[in-house]
A and B are shown apart, each in its own frame.
Chain A
Amino acid sequence: MGDSEAKIEAVRFSFYYGKRQALKDVNLRVKEHQITALIGPSGCGKSTFLRALNRMNDIIPGARAEGEIMLDGQNIYAPGVDVVDLRKRVGMVFQQPNPFPKTIFENVAFGPRVLGLDGKLSMDEVVEKSLRSAALWDEVKDVLNKSGLALSGGQQQRLCIARALATEPEVLLMDEPCSALDPQSTLRIEELMNELKARYTIVIVTHNMQQAARVSDWTGFLLLGDLVEYDKTAELFSRPQDKRTDDYITGRFG
């Protein structure tokens, strides 16, 4: 694992909810323009790790981080780091599609509106570009003033992806983005991820090992807050180094 292309690097990162330790000394490098999947049984800390990357856990009372997470070599947990700035660079898509109860247009425009447009593109252009990137434009271009909640589940999730892309992030975090979707919609999102990785660095948490194997370049296996194994996806699934990884991916537990 060369150092050069690490977009994100966790260094001895631990995380606590009150007294409970959810992550233990995790060291992990996320490569730029690659898809990194985090797998593991429920409660293993994979979502906690993902949400640590844009400091979404900050809003939970009693949550506390130790160690460092470097984004382009800068520790995002250093004092004085602006979380608004961080979240502009690190976008997020959630498990349940969660469009706002606003129009499709306003959903996508939300990020640029709160952060301010950089002036290169008009709001109309930003919305169109983001919806095109999320492969949703053709389906919604005539109904931009309809509520985002009127879309199907899979469309809603792509709307949420478009909304996240509208702020032009560098990293896209996806927290089990397909777990609430049907197989057809899941396939669309997976295809979309493959298109997006040319421009974004993607980290995805998934319950679904087939999905991790299909879409990701790198895979990390977490268990009880430990990063047990982290390797190229093909390696990890075909030649796991750790007995526990082997047990998990062959379905012996989890």
Chain B
Amino acid sequence: MPRISAKHTQRLALAGIWGTGIVTVIILLVIIGYVLVKGVSDVSWSFLSTAPRGGLSGLGGISTVMVCTVYLIGLTMAILVPLGVGAAIYLSEYAPDNRMTRFIRYGTEVLAGVPSIVFGLFGFALFVTALHFRFSILSGALTLACLLLPTLIRTSEEALRAVPRSHREAALALGATRWQTVWRVLLPAALPGIVTGIILCIGRAMGETACLFVTMGGTTALPTSLFSGGRTLSMHLLALVMDTNAFGKALATGVVLVVAIIVINAMTNWLSQRFRARMTGGA
């Protein structure tokens, strides 16, 4: 009897696992398919190359919004990546395991779970108001960096910790300093994991809306400096849906957003694989 029941549970578990997998894929395909199918007809060269009229009109395209998105993501990553990877290196390679570092780890875990709008409020209070950066790309990027820092620290730290101890020992035994060990051995080996973390962060940054409205304002004008306000694709999408009747344009914006994220994903993966192949000799 027990053998039969084990066989049954095995089948049941298998069916369950397959079921959840299929449901997940279907949901994913329906969402992306809906946006793509409904939205793609509104994507045209003029849509991509003209500025939105702004306000409640729902007229125009998304050119300035795309530019602003690129600026914001670029600036956010320029702030976030050195800080996040640096902190991860400190936590995994240098920090002693004591109450202080355990507190830092606990802190990053808690911060990773705080809703983004709370970071928006913080950014509004600190960057927009106290530091007089006003509604600007700079305020938005700093806020996003704060928001995403815990995520990047966690993923990078895990990637670094996953590098076998034997690599560290080999490097140290050859007379490498700790920093040389980190720079020449650990970071190249951990790069794929770190890149995954960065992609995750880019995706989240592309999707943020509320915390950016309170730090970047949301003007549709072309940004001219770090201190210009602006709106990203997601912010624009939200504004179109909430304030205008241009639902088709909202869907079209969604298409651009989805395609952009797919392209960024593919490009980053390709770059990191190429770098890895060069570093490792292809194994």
A residues bordering B, Cβ < 8 Å? 54, 56, 59, 61, 84-85, 87-88, 91-92, 94, 96, 98-104, 106, 110-111, 113-115, 145-150, 160, 163-164, 167
Contact = CB atoms under 8 A, between A and B. Distances in A.
A91 B169 CA distance: 12
B173 A61 contact: no
Nearest to A105: B281
A99 B189 CA distance: 12
Contacts of A101: 167, 188-189, 279-280, 283
A148 B188 CA distance: 15
A96 B166 CA distance: 8
Contact of A160 (B168, B170, B177, B188): B170
B187 to A, nearest CB: 12
B282 A147 contact: yes
Given A87-B175, A114-B174, A114-B176, A98 B184 contact: no
A115 B171 CA distance: 11
Interface in B138-195: 164, 166-177, 180, 184-185, 188-189
Contacts of B281: 102-104, 106, 145-148, 150
Contacts of A163: 170, 174
B97 A111 contact: no
Contacts of B170: 94, 98-100, 160, 163
A113 B180 CA distance: 10
Contact of B173 (A54, A103, A146): A54
A84 B169 CA distance: 13
Contacts of B173: 54, 56, 87, 91-92, 94, 164
Most chain A beta-carbon neighbours within 10 Å: one of B167, B180, B189, B280: B280
Interface residues of B, number: 25
Interface string B243-271: 00000000000000000000000000000
A28 to B, nearest CB: 21
A88 B176 CA distance: 9
A102 B280 contact: yes
Nearest to B170: A98
Given A101-B189, A114-B184, A146 B177 contact: no
B167 A100 contact: yes
A114 B172 CA distance: 10
B86 interface: no
Interface of B: 96-97, 164, 166-177, 180, 184-185, 188-189, 279-283
A57 to B, nearest CB: 11
Contact of A147 (B97, B176, B280): B280
Contact of A56 (B96, B169, B185, B283): B169
B78 to A, nearest CB: 28
19 contacts: A54-B173, A56-B169, A59-B172, A94-B166, A98-B164, A98-B166, A98-B169, A98-B170, A99-B170, A100-B189, A103-B280, A106-B281, A110-B184, A111-B176, A114-B171, A114-B184, A115-B174, A148-B281, A149-B280
Contacts of A145: 281
Contacts of B164: 98
B283 A94 contact: no
B283 A149 contact: yes
A102 to B, nearest CB: 6
Nearest to B178: A59
A206 B189 CA distance: 31
A167 B97 contact: no
B93 to A, nearest CB: 10
A86 to B, nearest CB: 8
Contacts of A146: 281-283
B280 A110 contact: no
Contacts of A84: 175-177
Given A61-B97, A146-B281, A149-B283, A110 B166 contact: no
A106 B180 CA distance: 14
Given A94-B169, A94-B170, A146-B281, A100 B175 contact: no
Nearest to B174: A111
Contacts of A164: 173-174
A61 to B, nearest CB: 7
Contacts of A92: 173
Top 8 A-B pairs, shortest CB-CB distance: A147-B283, A103-B281, A98-B166, A147-B281, A92-B173, A111-B174, A88-B175, A87-B175
Most chain A beta-carbon neighbours within 10 Å: one of B166, B184, B282, B283: B283
A92 B176 CA distance: 13
A152 to B, nearest CB: 13
